[in-house]
Structure 1
Amino acid sequence: MKKIITIAILFFSILSYSQQMSLEKGKFYLGGNRIDSREARNLFATNVKAAALYKQAKSKEALGGFLLGLGIGLTVGDLAIGLFSDKDYPSALTYAGLGSIAVSVPILSGRKKRYKEAIEIYNSEHKELKLGATNNSIELNAVSNQNGFGLQLKF
């Protein structure tokens, strides 16, 4: 009986202590400890909407990073061609690179908003002790029947 009560108290103390997630300088922190993106993805998987926002943010990050790298590469490559050959420097490659950089800026700026929305959903879900996308409730009741007294755990 003591073991059951101890386990029940331990179980509810773990549930009541939910750590808040935060985003600082592009890195995820859970309760002050840095977590990598794989762990964050697994934590966001408990809620469908948070997982979708996280996936959108990662897609924006990948696409924006590709466009930014492509733009920088085209611009620097055209600069190198212009410096070491007799061709005119601002050619179509430079303008294409600058256009790619200009397109990547709004794409990259939208990812932080999506990350923050996913974190807000995660924090609000765990503040209210709703675990998982199904939001099951957990109850611990004292019961008595013909066999005696006991504890009933419903989840």
Structure 2
Amino acid sequence: MKFKIIVSLFLLASLSAYSQELKYKSGGRIFDSNDKKMSPTEVRELLAKQPGMLQFYNKGRSKKALGNTMLYGGMALLATDFLLAASKESEYPTMMSILGAASMILSIPVKAGYTKKIKTVVKDYNAELSNKDKDSGFNFESMSVVSNKNGVGLRLTF
């Protein structure tokens, strides 16, 4: 009987260790509690049980891709127009330069918006984890091995 209780406590402890808090760092990167970078696929697998958060995360990732496309596309248009004007000695600020500059300027709010979405997902996920820990009624603080003249045992602190 004692063996079954100890085994079930170990299993519960391993399940609580699996649900780790996430950390957001710049550039849309998400890290687990061990400071290991998680790929977007891993984050999507983790959020698969919460479709609302997953949808919000996917919107943030697509906003990041759109912002990057606008920024780098605008840079490419500006550079192309500059190189064409330098080689042909024609008027420099053509429509290509104006479109490139506008694209780069418009990418700023788009790129700023995706960080808010991803930060919100991380904050909500961590809040949900802390609520689950409070609702479970099972707070496993520590476990230690103790010995005395009668034998060896485990001391569990809740």
| TM norm structure 1 | 0.77
Contact 1:15 1:129 in 2 (8 A): no
Q: CA–CA distance in 1 between the matches of 2:13 and 2:87?
A: 69
Q: 1:46 is matched by which residue type in structure 2? A: K
Q: CA–CA distance in 2 between the matches of 1:110 and 1:61?
A: 8
CA displacement, residues 19-74 of structure 1 (integer Å, 9 cap, x when unaligned): 21011122211112222221111112221221011011011011111111111110
CA displacement, residues 118-145 of structure 1 (integer Å, 9 cap, x when unaligned): 0011111222227xxxxxx799xxxxxx
CA displacement, residues 67-117 of structure 1 (integer Å, 9 cap, x when unaligned): 111111100000000111121111110001011111111111100000011
Contact 1:47 1:122 in 2 (8 A): no
Identity of aligned residues (%): 26
- The answer for unaligned runs of 5 or more in structure 1 is 131-136, 140-155
Q: CA–CA distance in 1 between the matches of 2:23 and 2:48?
A: 16
Farther off after superposition, 8-17 or 80-89 = 8-17
Q: What corresponds to 1:9 in structure 2?
A: 9
Matches within 5 A, 1:20-35: 20-26=21-27, 27-31=29-33, 32-35=35-38
Matches within 5 A, 1:3-152: 3-17=3-17, 18-26=19-27, 27-31=29-33, 32-129=35-132
Q: 1:7 is matched by which residue type in structure 2? A: V
Instruction: Give the secondary structure class of the aligned counterpart of 2:132.
Output: coil
Q: CA–CA distance in 1 between the matches of 2:57 and 2:68?
A: 16
How many correspondences in the alignment?
134
- The answer for unaligned runs of 5 or more in structure 2 is 139-158
Q: CA–CA distance in 1 between the matches of 2:127 and 2:49?
A: 12
Please tell me the root mean square deviation across aligned C-alpha atoms, in Å. Answer: 2.2
Task: Tell me which protein shows more helix as a share of its residues.
Answer: 2
